[in-house]
Amino acid sequence: MNPVKIGNIKIDNPICLAPMAGFSALPFRVICGEMGAAYCPTELVSARSIRFNGLGRNSRYSKIDPAREKIPVIQLFGSEPEDFSAAVSKLLADPRYQGLKILDINMGCPVPKVIKTGSGSALMTDPVRASAIVAATVKAVEQAGADIPVTCKTRTGYDDRDKSGPDFARALAEAGASMICIHGRTRPQMYAGYADYDAIARMTEAVKPCNIPVFANGDVKDGKSALKALERTGADGLMVGRAARGNPWVFRKITDELEGREFEEPSDLEKRQMLLRELIERREENADCEEGAVVREFRSVMPFYIKGEEGAAALKRALCNASSIDEVKEILELD
């Protein structure tokens, strides 16, 4: 793959982790980075909440670690340009976010709770507002004296009749977005069916005159599917979501296979050890929380690490009842 530039940031191997609420905790992002993901954004964080509640309450989800992340990226969602201006000013004035390298804006979330507020994929119905959000974010970065590119993650349309994707992408680029990532599904498709690479290609084409990279997203899980997504969309890079759940090795697999190297799948033991590592690091990150709460939150993640193992169903049931790290270790027969 060719290197890409997102604003001032050069990326040699443009395959990133797609943000995933519930999965994109800092330890997992660090692990995916070690496996070769170019960068790994946080899950969506409310710009309005940062504006009005500050970073204390939000720091769990917006936490970055420039010492362990090559390119720390925060994804914000919201519907009011002023919320983004205020949130960005707060973030960039806070010493904990000095190493922030990219700000991403969510314009694709299909969840009703988010859409109801005019955020996420609802922004696809209001390109003027979406552009105003990009412009306000870029301006707030400039006013803070920072050099941080603003990127957008969106879908191919609000619904199946919506043909405005190319115009929407172009509007975001003209408003100042330094990269656009396109998930090849419309909002009502949620995550069902196949990603529409032709629709991504039309949007990529529309953005060409603006000279910014486009990343394609949807259904990439190995070298073959990565090549197909790149060739069919004409995109400059890729984001990988679901295939990375419990499988951070997917980044190494894609890169190895694209570059013609044999990839050796991790053993069941390696997967179990990685599950435990993520859990222990999540615990360390949340030292002020009760251990049981951290383990319970991790219950939705654990099954992905043991998928495909013999006896996975019984193992999954046991893990989904665990409330302590010791219990998880015992179930997985790890020291």
Instruction: Enumerate the active-site residues.
Output: 109
What is the rounded distance in angstroms from the CA atom of residue 273 to the CA atom of residue 66?
Answer: 25
Lookup: tokens for 134: 């990009």
CB 149 within 8 A of CB 94: no
Which residues make Cβ contacts (< 8 Å) with residue 113, sequence separation at least 6? Answer: none
Binding test (CB under 6 A) with ligand FMN, winner from 9, 11, 38, 44: 44
Q: What 8-state DSSP symbol labels residue 214?
A: E
Q: Contact between 29 and ligand FMN (CB under 6 A)?
A: no
Sign of CA dihedral 12, 14, 19, 22: negative
Contact map string, positions 177 to 206, toward ligand FMN, x by CB under 6 A: ------x-------x---------------
* 14 or 108: CB nearest ligand FMN: 108
Which of 237, 325 has the CB closer to ligand FMN?
Answer: 237
- List, in sequence order, the alpha helices (H) in 104-249: 112-115, 127-143, 165-175, 197-207, 223-233
Residue nearest to ligand FMN (CB): 241
Q: Would you give the binding string for ligand FMN spanning residues 50-89, x where CB under 6 A is met?
A: -------------------------x--------------
Position 22 contacts ligand FMN (CB under 6 A): yes
Among 25-33, 101-109, 159-167, 320-328, the segment contacting ligand FMN (CB under 6 A)? 101-109
CB 29 within 8 A of CB 286: no
Q: How far is CA 276 from the centre of its chain?
A: 22
At its nearest, how many Å lie between ligand FMN and the CB of residue 220? Answer: 6
List of residues contacting ligand FMN (CB under 6 A): 18-23, 43-44, 75, 106, 108-109, 153, 183, 191, 217-220, 240-243
